[in-house]
Each structure stands twice: as C-alpha cells, then as structure tokens.
Amino acid sequence: MFDRFRRSRALFIGGSMVAQHTFEDGNDRFPSAETVALIQSTLAGFLDGTIGDERVCEVFSLVASEADARQLRAEGMLVALKQIWNGLPQVRALHDSQRRDQMLTHLVRLCIDSYYRR
C-alpha cells in the first residue's frame, strides 16, 4: 500500500510550481489538477477572510476522499497541503512569519480532523 506512493514531480498550475505526488505507474496524481485548483482557491479565500473553517473542512473532506481512493494516508494530504500552501503568492507575501506559521498550523489541524472524521 504505502510503497506504491513514492515519486514526486512538479506541475505548473495557476502561476506557481506545485509538487505532485504520483504512484509509481505515473498515471494517477494526488491531488488531481482539479483538486489542486480547488485547494488553491480555498486557501486564497481563507487568507483573505472570505472563506471560513467550515468551507475549508468541506474541501479537505473532498481531498480526503481522493486520498482514500488512492489508498493514501493523512500524511499524503498534509504533504500536498504544505506544498500548495508554500506555493501560493499570497503566502509568500505574508511578512509576519509567526502569523503565517500559525495559519498553517491551524490548516493542518483542520486537514487532519477532516481526514479522520469521514
């Protein structure tokens, strides 16, 4: 199960490089390009205050379902979340590193909760 999940490739989406984890056969990407775009827009809304925790959890639940379909654990979601987060221009523009880290920690908690609540 876990040994099928290894290589990492970069994919250019929405003006930023996002690492894509793939299965060894290279046919399945996690998360899918559509899911990456959804996560990016959700995180952008979270950052500007137009999207709250409830919507973030809904999106993370969808991501969890995709991870589960690919037999991935929560760790796969967390890696994807952190890579997408770090690739967002809005995140890189945050000068307060403590605030940026607090926001990411909060999102990680929501991500873990969403994965295990399904």
Rounded to whole angstroms, the Cα distance separating 117 from 16 reads 31
Binned at pLDDT 50, 70 and 90, residue 6 comes out as very low
The pair of structure tokens assigned to 79 is 């890696």
Note the pLDDT of residue 91: 97
CATH code, 74: 1.10.490
The structural domain count of the chain equals 1
Q: For the whole model, what pTM was predicted? A: 0.76
Q: What is the mean pLDDT of the chain?
A: 82
Is the confidence at residue 2, as pLDDT, over 60?
no
The distance from CA 37 to its chain's CA centroid, rounded to whole angstroms, is 10
Q: Which residues contact 72 (CB under 8 A, 6 or more apart)?
A: 5, 30
20-42: b (≥16 Cβ within 10 Å) or e? bbbbeeeeebbbeeebbeebbeb
Q: Which domain holds residue 9?
A: 2-117
Encode pLDDT of 18-69 as tens digits. Answer: 444 433 334 567 899 999 999 999 999 999 999 999 999 999 999 999 999 9
